């Protein structure tokens, strides 16, 4: 607890990122991982081996980019760092103790960037009812001639989450325009992955499952706001035991259905 408070105080992030709660969310992921790591293990193994298969498709290995790398639980970091000349870990926030984990890789750097390109401008219109919410136009690395490999790892469904919670709290925008923002951000990320140079791997959760003690699914929530994931047929599916009971609820598990596509592009 003390370490978490210290990390919160020591990590640098912009006012919008802090206001939307990205930092405690990231620190919370690490704490949950520590509590339920055995339950996460199959998901982590699936992610890592799918990423390695995606990496095998790269004939040239100059630069690799990990989008949503965060704490890197789900990324085979040693293998990627050994295979590529340069690796960039992109995340909206890098808790300061996470930087410690990657310090031993001399060719790995962390970039704190909002991959949707909307968070800053959304923050400034969040309490103004008459102002339109921004459209997402990700441009990072699009013109990078050295980029050979990109992984979007457990990021896609997360992109609208913190902005949506923040907007709902501000009460200035309708549920309809907040949902439209969420769909736009997800669609823009998929289009962005298509536009990137080099090979691309996509791993994302697509559905939240609420499961009772009899192992019955009692509720399903679509995490992509009705958007259909293209290339689904080329992917693999598995369950991520994200929050086994009583982690988030005394009578239910909250799991995720995950899709991984080693050859997204
Ligand atoms: C579920 S976590 C991914 C798991 C992560 N690979 C790990 O092992 O901890 C989602 C990550 O996406 C990041 N993220 C959320 N919105 C983002 C945005 N707009 N731009 C960049 N990263 C974002 C979060 O900070 C978080 O680290």
- pLDDT block averages, 10 residues each, the chain of length 265: 79 92 92 94 98 98 96 95 98 88 93 97 95 96 98 98 98 96 98 98 98 97 95 92 96 98 97
Peptide bond into 246 cis (omega under 30): yes
Residue 123 near residue 19 (C-beta atoms within 8 A): yes
- Does a structural domain hold residue 254? no
Is residue 38 a part of any domain in this protein?
Answer: yes
Q: Looking at ligand 1, which atom is closest to the CA of residue 153?
A: 6
The C-alpha atoms of residue 245 and residue 140 are separated, in whole angstroms, by 39
**By C-alpha distance, which of 215, 224, 220 is closest to 253?**
215
Residue with the smallest CA separation from ligand 1 atom 9 is 71
Instruction: Tell me if 230 is assigned to some domain.
Output: no
Please, what is the average pLDDT of the chain? 95
- pLDDT, tens digit, 9 for 90 and up, residues 9-58: 888 889 999 999 999 999 899 889 999 999 999 999 999 999 999 999 99
Whole-number Å distance, alpha carbon 84 to ligand 1 midpoint, is 22
> 24: how many CB neighbours lie within 10 A of its CB?
15
Residue 221 belongs to a domain: no
The closest-lying atom of ligand 1 relative to the alpha carbon of residue 70 is 27
Give residue 3's pLDDT: 76
pTM for the structure as a whole: 0.96
DSSP 234: G
**CB-ligand 1 contact for 136 (6 Å cutoff):** no
In a domain, 81, yes or no: yes
Please check whether residue 77 lies inside any domain of the structure. yes
Q: Which residues contact 151 (CB under 8 A, 6 or more apart)?
A: 51, 54, 64, 65, 66, 67, 75, 200, 201, 203
Q: Is 11 in the pocket of ligand 1 (CB under 6 A)?
A: no
Domain that holds residue 139: 2-148+155-195
Ligand 1 atom closest to residue 162's alpha carbon, by position in its atom list: 16
Cα(77) to centroid(ligand 1), Å: 16
Structure tokens, 123: 């923050």
Is residue 252 included in any domain, yes or no? Answer: no
Per the structure, the count of domains in the chain is 1
**In this structure, are strands 236-243 and 253-261 parallel, antiparallel, or unpaired?**
antiparallel
> Does 244 reside within a domain?
no
């Amino acid at each position: 607890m003390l370490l978490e408070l210290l990390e919160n105080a020591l990590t640098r992030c912009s006012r919008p990122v802090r206001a939307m709660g990205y930092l405690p969310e990231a620190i919370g992921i690490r704490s949950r991982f520590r509590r339920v790591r055995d339950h996460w293990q199959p998901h982590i193994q699936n992610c890592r081996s799918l990423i390695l298969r995606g990496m095998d498709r790269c004939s040239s290995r100059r630069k690799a980019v990990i989008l949503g790398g965060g704490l890197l639980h789900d990324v085979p970091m040693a293998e990627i760092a050994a295979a590529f000349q340069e690796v960039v870990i992109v995340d909206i926030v890098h808790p300061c103790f996470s930087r410690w984990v990657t310090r031993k890789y001399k060719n790995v750097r962390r970039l704190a960037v909002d991959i949707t390109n909307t968070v800053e401008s959304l923050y400034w219109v969040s309490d103004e009812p008459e102002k339109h919410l921004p459209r997402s136009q990700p441009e990072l690395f699009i013109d990078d001639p050295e980029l050979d490999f990109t992984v979007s790892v457990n990021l896609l469904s997360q992109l609208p989450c913190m902005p949506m919670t923040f907007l709902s709290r501000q009460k200035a925008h309708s549920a309809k325009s907040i949902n439209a923002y969420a769909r736009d951000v997800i669609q823009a990320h998929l289009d962005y992955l298509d536009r990137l140079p080099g090979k691309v791997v996509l791993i994302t959760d697509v559905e939240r499952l609420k499961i009772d003690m009899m192992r019955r699914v009692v509720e399903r929530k679509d995490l992509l706001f009705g958007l259909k994931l293209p290339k689904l047929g080329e992917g693999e599916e598995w369950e991520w035991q994200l929050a086994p009971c009583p982690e988030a609820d005394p009578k239910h598990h909250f799991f995720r259905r995950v899709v991984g596509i080693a050859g997204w592009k």
